[in-house]
A and B are shown apart, each in its own frame.
Chain A
Amino acid sequence: MKTKYMNPYLAGFLLGFVLLMAFYFSGRGLGASGAVKDVLVFSMDKVAPTHTAENHYFGKYVADGANPLNNWLVYEMLGVVLGGFISGAIAGRLKLRIEHFPGISANRRLVFALIGGVLFGFGSQLGRGCTSGSALTGMAVLSLGGFITMAAIFGTAFAAAYFFKKNWIG
């Protein structure tokens, strides 16, 4: 089937190459949720520095005056924003819109997007990384935890798909 997107196997090869370059240059893989955490801790530190420093999870990122934004993942994610934007611009996909299955309302879509984000944010901290940092990168370095997290993410999404049918296929 002809689509406006890149051939998925070619895109996968290029994704793997980018990941390999991250290993080759920086000795580490890709990630996403970690950068969100860094921005969150940075903001919390501005609003409530004492509370942030005393928090047992966030505190270590601001210990000894450290700036959580001085992190590899933050710069990588800035690149992701630019790279995604360039690709969208070339492909003519830049458009402010709410994308959803026509069978549901835009508001319903936004509510589920918010809930899903909360779940992913929470789960990524418990699982020490999200689909990029834990599953994809973890699998590439053959980490046992990477394979487990990958199987748990995709297995759960498959198992629960029936109950979310209305939102995607009606």
Chain B
Amino acid sequence: MGPLIPNEIIAGNWNFLIAFVIGIGFGFVLEQAGFSSSRKLAGMFYGYDTVVLKVFFTGAITAMLGLLFFSLFDWIDLSLVYVNPTFLWSAIIGGVIMGLGFITAGFCPGTSVCAAAIGKIDAMIFIVGIFLGIFIFGESFPLLQNLFVAGDMGSPKLNQVLGISGGVLALLVILAAAIMFWIGEWAERKFPREEY
């Protein structure tokens, strides 16, 4: 039963090789989807190209359902899968700052690495910026420490907070995504674009 490395079905020294292979798949898919273009990514926020919405939500739903099915079939022990902790205020403010970065540059860290790999100089400069931003955060950590740990809620799941099962939440996410996909397809017909 998975996860295979934490359950010691595969020896731990394979973990980095597996990470590398998974990374190849991750980078390949992002580039194939067009995430190596900042103009395609930024199109999301002006309606002319909603590829971000489609890929991001299809990806999240696929993995979400995959985990639920794998758990149902006893293929994976979900208690061994890392669940991101929730620190309310840093999640919100960090997200807001990242959102500003997204609309400013048209990249996020993963997509910028993909774009740099195919020669986009703007992406390489963005990565320099990420280094700077992390450095600034670390160096000013004493000032940020209280905010960083404020609103510690442990590692709750959204469905627990809402008092519903994981499956029902997944269904709601699918319905929400279907509506957003429909709006996205409509927006792409309404706002003209060129291919780049």
Does A pair with B?
yes
- Looking at the complex, which one of B64, B75, B133 makes contact with A117 (CB distance below 8 Å)? B133
Interface string of B10-53 (1 = CB under 8 A from A): 10000111111111111111111110111110111110100100
B61 within 8 A of A: yes
A64 within 8 A of B: no
Additional 12 contacts, C-beta under 8 A, given A16-B61, A124-B94, A158-B45: A27-B81, A30-B22, A40-B135, A76-B20, A94-B119, A118-B133, A134-B84, A141-B157, A142-B83, A142-B159, A142-B169, A143-B85
Q: Could you list which residues of chain A lie within 8 angstroms of chain B, going by C-beta atoms?
A: 1, 3-6, 8-9, 11-33, 36-37, 39-40, 44, 55-58, 70, 72-73, 75-88, 91, 93-101, 109-110, 112-161, 164-165, 167-169
28 contacts between A and B (CB under 8 A): A3-B34, A5-B34, A6-B33, A23-B66, A26-B6, A36-B127, A77-B23, A79-B22, A79-B23, A79-B24, A84-B30, A97-B120, A98-B122, A113-B38, A116-B107, A117-B132, A121-B136, A125-B138, A126-B94, A130-B110, A136-B56, A142-B157, A142-B170, A149-B95, A152-B93, A153-B98, A157-B45, A160-B100
The verdict on A123 contacting B94 (CB below 8 Å), with A32-B110, A84-B114, A118-B136 known, is yes
Give the total of B residues in contact with A, Cβ under 8 Å.
132
B96 proximity list for chain A (CB < 8 A): 123, 152-153, 156
A34 to chain B, nearest CB (A): 9
| Complex contact A122–B97 (CB within 8 A) | yes
Interface of B, secondary structure class, is: helix
A-B interface, 10 closest residue pairs, ranked by CB to CB distance from nearest: A117-B129, A79-B23, A116-B105, A121-B133, A16-B62, A152-B95, A12-B58, A127-B94, A156-B99, A83-B27
